[in-house]
Amino acid sequence: MLTKTIEVNESQTRLAELLSVVLGGTEIILTQDQIPVVRLTPIAAPPAAPRTAGLHKGAIWASDDFAEPLPEEFWTEGK
């Protein structure tokens, strides 16, 4: 990975440009009075695994009356 060093005060006016550089694969080291204080690197997102239908067939179920309205006593019990 390439590394680029920039002073903090200079970076404040170039943030959008620096983000683009970092996302392009270059590490940015921000310095204050030539002392390194911050490292900007992209967050590596894990590759998304492809989804496979049917892996857990039978693991969940819905009752036959799942879509039916709840009985009135459901709403009034415990009051």
pLDDT in tens, 17-30: 999 999 888 999 99
Give residue-wise pLDDT tens across range 34-59: 999 999 998 876 677 888 888 888 89
- Every domain of the chain and the residues it spans: 2-40
Domain 2-40, classified CATH 3.40.50, yes or no: no
Secondary structure, 3-state, 20-79: HHHHCCEEEEEEECCEEEEEECCCCCCCCCCCCCCCCCCCCCCCCCCCCCCCHHHHHCCC
For position 79, what pLDDT does the model report? 61
Q: What is the pTM of this model?
A: 0.54
